Structure formats: C-alpha cells, structure tokens
C-alpha cells in the first residue's frame, strides 16, 4: 500500500528534469514510477532515476514522446494506475488525456474538455469575459477573415498577433505600426501552422511595460478550489520566462486579492480539476487582464511549493486518485519569498542563441533554502533536440531581499562547465537595482540591455584565467619542461 490509496504505479509521460522531479515525489509516496526513454535520448537522467524505464519507438525521440497510441499501450502494459504528463510534450493534449481515461487509467490533470476549452486561446478569453473577468480588446480572424486586418487596426497599436492554439511565445508577433500588420499576420499564421498545426490567429491589444502575474490554483473532484498565491514571471526573453518569483513584488494588495479571486472563480466556472495556472497581464496603472489558463503543472511551480510548503505533485496525485485537497484555503500559509532562475544552454551575449556542448563538470549550489531541479548529468551532451533549459535553481528566503542575496550566491556557486550557460547573466539581472526594487516588466531585459551586458575582465583576472589554462594545458606544460637552459637559469623574469 502506497501513501496515496488507489495509486500504486504512475507512468510519467515525459523525460528529463520534470520526469525526475515528478519521480522524486512518487518515490516519497512509495509509488512505483516509470518514465519514457528513446535510444537517441542519451542525455536523459530520468531513465536511470525511475523504477521502470519504458522505451518508446519512433524515428526521433521527440516524435516517440508524442506518440499517443504507443504511450497509452505502454501505460496499460506496465499496469500504471495513472499517467502524469509533466509539462511540454503531451501535457496539454486533450486527445491524449482522453485516450488515457478511455484505457481506464487516471489522468493527472483536468478533464479533456477543460484542456480543450483552455487550450483554445480565443475560446478561453470568451469564457473568462463571460464570467466577468476583464480581457484585453481582441479580434479573431475566423469571425470574418476579410475584415480581420481592419478589425485588428481598430484595437489600436501596439498590438499582438497570436496563435489560437499558441503558447510558449511561438507564433506571436508585436506590431507597433500599421504598415507592419500584414507581414506580421502572415508570419504569425505560418508559425502557428508550423508549431501547432492550426493556423487560426487573433489580434490582441498589447499593453506597454506589462507585468506577467499568474495564480496557481488547485481543485479536486469534490468541489474544492483553492489558490496557492501568485507568481511574477515578468523577466522574459523571446516571450519565454527566465526568472519567476512568489509572491509578486511591489503590487497593491487589492490587485493581489482580485486576481487570486478571479483565478478561483474561473476554475470553479470551468469545473476545473487538478493543478492549473491562470495568467494575467498587469498594466503599470494596476489594471489586470486575463491572458490564458494553463491546464498543467508549470515549469515555475517550485516557487509556490517553497512559499506554501505544499508539494504540488503530491496534491496532483491525490486529486487524480479522487481524494480531496489536503488543505482548505484558510490552512494555506505563505511564508517568505522564493525565486526561480531557469538555467539555459544559451549565450546571452549572442542574443540568447542556444548553445551546445558536453557537460564536463556539474556542481550545483547546495545549502539551506536552495533547491536545484536538474535534468542534466556530467558527461551528457547538450544537443539541439530538446529545450535549452538545463536546470532550475530555486531559493527561499525569509523575505525578498534575502532571497535575492541567496539566489545570487547560489548562481555564483553553481559550476557548469563545457557548455555556455546564462548563469552569470541571471546573476546580473538579480543584481540590477530595478529588479531589487521590484520594478519588473516583460521588456526588462531589452530595456536594460546595456546594464546587463557582460562586464569586461580586469587585466589581472584575464592573466589569472590564462595562467590556469596554461598550467592545465598538457602541450604547454610539456614546453615548460623543455624550456632551454638560458631561460631556466635567468632567474626571476625581468621586464
């Protein structure tokens, strides 16, 4: 008997960092955990970590991890009681959720029809608006394709063109001037088709200097819905989050309470089940608009776990098993501040271009209040096949100031050698006076480009680095042994 009655074995339909993270909780709950593997996916630490590694066949690892029929038949074959999708891959695929449930296996997530409703960014906006939650002015192409660009212009500039099936910043274009509109529409449509196989797009008002604030909710089958506070995810590059924190800094209390209440209201109205996140855009004047709802665990869920002390994966498994939530709203406490930094294989000095290489040395920071959720191992090759995120560093302090100091120390202590990463860049963001004072918005990184640039090395530092390289270089040291006698007897070098 495991610690969650009804769940003895779970198949994690995922790989890497999130598969390891889910498996860690399952292990603590004494639940047998299985995850997917593919022969090409050599750098997958989950394969060795879980109790059962389940090979999936497919031309590429990615196509294998997206193979619904095969994954469902694996779940049946190994006798899984539930499937946890993690995030990415099939996590927001309603057909997959449906296939899992049809096979008589519990789906760790909301009902397929809820995934479908929230997955359609146009439908979900209408749903939110119908329940009295403000949304940004928008126009959908499919309402009347012929007048789409006219209707988009009426919204006013700047505006965003987005994919209806979108997410992760893909298929998204900012349009600042009317003459850019038709090009942006074409581009967004082709990206939407490419990434989501669905070319429906819509236009939405773009608020300048917006903050991205989201609310974590959790719901069970017994009508309980709670929020677990909000996260600020404004520090982004290419519309993708880089640093997240909880609670959101420097916002009015009534705004905090309002979006928390709206998130619970939306989840209740949708008959939501399991973990979900309601995303809002917050304008500088404190106005907030519903953006979208993500029907899965989020990458940044650990900051919520750290301030509430609640293991969200455990709650997800309990809810999937049909048990009620472990805490009511009044029992949920928020303590201190937590910050998550996404460590990515990319070069901030070259416009965040993805980097590749072999992880030759890995020494994560350790200590009280520090959590390192990694998907990498020493000797692993970082390739172009998967997302550039290598690991997440999460810290928890008594207050935000302490969390920032701790995060900066932990970033500096984390050693990853062999592949270019954004570790030092993240540290510079945290050290920026505007970040420290909570003046964050989604354009923070481009706006502070100069301040965040790599500082030049001091001459002494340069010499020290060159010394280390020379003294550990076999060829160089061989030449030291072979220094001709005149030099050797010259004594101290004189300039």
Partner 1 sequence: MATEFDLEGLCSSVLPVHGQDALVLSIDGRPFRVGLTPGRATGEVVLEFGEERERVFAVQRGGIHFIHFRGRAHRVEAIDALARARKRAVAESGEESLLAPMPGVVVRVAVEADEEVEAGDLLMVIESMKLQTSIRAPHDGRVAEICLGTGASFEQGATLVRLETRDEDSEAEQAKERER
List of residues contacting partner 1 (CB under 8 A): 170, 238, 345, 353-356, 358, 360-361, 363, 383-388, 411-413, 415-418, 420-421, 423-424, 427, 457, 460-473, 475-476, 479-480, 483, 487-488, 490-495
Q: How far is the CB of 213 from partner 1 (least distance, A)?
A: 25
Residue 145 or 493 with smaller CB distance to partner 1: 493
Residue 130 or 356 with smaller CB distance to partner 1: 356
Check: CB of residue 127 under 8 Å from CB of residue 148.
no
Residue 221 or 427 with smaller CB distance to partner 1: 427
* Residue located via tokens 């030092």: 424
Determine the number of helices (DSSP H) and then strands (DSSP E) in the chain: 20, 23
d(C-alpha 17, C-alpha 188), whole Å:
30
Angle at CA of residue 305, ends 300 and 308, nearest 5° = 135
Residue 48 or 361 with smaller CB distance to partner 1: 361
Q: How far is the CB of 201 from partner 1 (least distance, A)?
A: 18
Residue 330 or 475 with smaller CB distance to partner 1: 475
Rg (CA), the chain: 25
Q: How far apart are the first and last CA of the chain?
A: 77
The two beta strands, 357-358 and 381-382, are antiparallel
Q: How far is the CB of 169 from partner 1 (least distance, A)?
A: 10
List active site positions: 296
**Type and span of the H or E element at 84:** strand 82-84
**Type and span of the H or E element at 416:** strand 415-417
Angle at CA of residue 388, ends 384 and 393, nearest 5° = 155
Residue 450 or 494 with smaller CB distance to partner 1: 494
Q: How far is the CB of 432 from partner 1 (least distance, A)?
A: 16
Q: How far is the CB of 195 from partner 1 (least distance, A)?
A: 8
Q: How far is the CB of 403 from partner 1 (least distance, A)?
A: 18
d(C-alpha 383, C-alpha 75), whole Å:
28
**Type and span of the H or E element at 203:** strand 201-205
Q: How far is the CB of 179 from partner 1 (least distance, A)?
A: 21
Residue 326 or 383 with smaller CB distance to partner 1: 383
Which residues make Cβ contacts (< 8 Å) with residue 478, sequence separation at least 6? none
Check: CB of residue 41 under 8 Å from CB of residue 61.
yes
d(C-alpha 404, C-alpha 391), whole Å:
18
CA–CA distances in Å: residue 225 to residues 109, 254, 267, 274: 14, 20, 7, 9
Check: CB of residue 159 under 8 Å from CB of residue 203.
yes
Residue 73 or 479 with smaller CB distance to partner 1: 479
**Length of the chain in residues, anyone?**
495
Q: How far is the CB of 265 from partner 1 (least distance, A)?
A: 34
Residue 327 or 383 with smaller CB distance to partner 1: 383
Which residues make Cβ contacts (< 8 Å) with residue 178, sequence separation at least 6? 153, 157
- Residue 7 burial (10 A CB sphere; 0-12, 13-18, 19+): buried
Adjacent-strand bridge partners of 135: 290
Q: How far is the CB of 348 from partner 1 (least distance, A)?
A: 12
d(C-alpha 294, C-alpha 280), whole Å:
11
* Residue located via tokens 């207050």: 399
What sign results for the dihedral spanned by CA atoms 401, 403, 407, 410?
positive
């Amino acid at each position: 008997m495991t610690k969650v009655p009804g769940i003895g074995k779970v198949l994690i339909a995922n790989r890497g960092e999130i598969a390891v993270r889910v498996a860690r909780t399952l292990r603590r709950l004494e639940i047998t955990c299985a995850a997917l593997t593919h022969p090409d996916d050599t750098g997958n630490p989950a394969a060795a970590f879980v109790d059962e590694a389940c090979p999936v066949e497919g031309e590429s690892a990615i196509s294998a991890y997206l193979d619904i029929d095969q994954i469902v038949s694996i779940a049946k074959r190994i006798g899984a009681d539930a499937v946890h999708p993690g995030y990415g891959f099939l996590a927001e695929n309603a057909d997959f959720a449906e296939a899992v449930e049809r096979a008589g296996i519990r789906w760790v997530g909301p009902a397929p029809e809820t995934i479908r409703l929230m997955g359609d960014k146009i439908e979900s906006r209408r749903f939110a608006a119908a329940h009295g939650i403000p949304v940004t002015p928008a126009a959908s192409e499919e309402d009347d394709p012929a007048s789409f660009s006219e209707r988009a212009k009426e919204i006013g500039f700047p505006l965003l063109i987005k994919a209806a099936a979108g997410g992760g910043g893909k298929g998204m274009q900012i349009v600042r001037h009317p003459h850019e509109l038709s090009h942006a529409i074409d581009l967004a449509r082709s990206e939407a088709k490419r990434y989501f196989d669905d070319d429906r797009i819509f236009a939405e008002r773009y608020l300048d200097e917006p903050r991205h604030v989201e609310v974590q909710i959790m719901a069970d089958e017994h009508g309980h819905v709670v929020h677990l506070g909000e996260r600020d995810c404004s520090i982004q590059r290419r519309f993708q989050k880089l640093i997240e924190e909880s609670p959101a800094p420097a916002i009015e209390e009534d705004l905090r309470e309002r979006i928390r209440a709206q998130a619970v209201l939306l989840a209740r109205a949708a008959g939501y089940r399991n973990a979900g996140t309601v995303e809002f855009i917050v304008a500088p004047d404190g106005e907030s608009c519903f953006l979208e709802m993500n029907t899965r665990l989020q990458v940044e869920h650990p900051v919520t776990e750290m301030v509430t002390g609640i293991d969200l994966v455990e709650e997800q498994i309990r809810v999937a098993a049909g048990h009620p939530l472990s805490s009511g709203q009044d029992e949920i406490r928020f303590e201190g501040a937590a910050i998550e930094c996404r460590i990515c294989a990319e070069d901030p000095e070259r416009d965040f271009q993805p980097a590749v290489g072999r992880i030759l040395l890995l020494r994560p920071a350790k200590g009280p209040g520090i959590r390192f959720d990694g998907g990498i191992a020493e000797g692993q090759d970082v390739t172009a096949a998967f997302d550039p995120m290598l690991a997440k560093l999460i810290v928890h302090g008594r207050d935000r100031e302490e969390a920032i100091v701790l995060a900066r120390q932990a970033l500096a202590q984390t050693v990853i050698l062999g592949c270019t990463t954004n570790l030092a860049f993240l540290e510079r963001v945290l050290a920026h006076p505007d970040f420290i004072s909570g003046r964050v918005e989604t354009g923070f990184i481009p706006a502070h480009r100069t301040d965040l640039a790599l500082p030049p090395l001091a001459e002494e530092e340069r010499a020290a680095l060159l010394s280390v390289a020379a003294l550990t270089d076999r060829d160089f040291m061989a030449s030291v042994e072979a220094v001709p006698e005149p030099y050797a007897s010259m004594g101290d070098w004189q300039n």
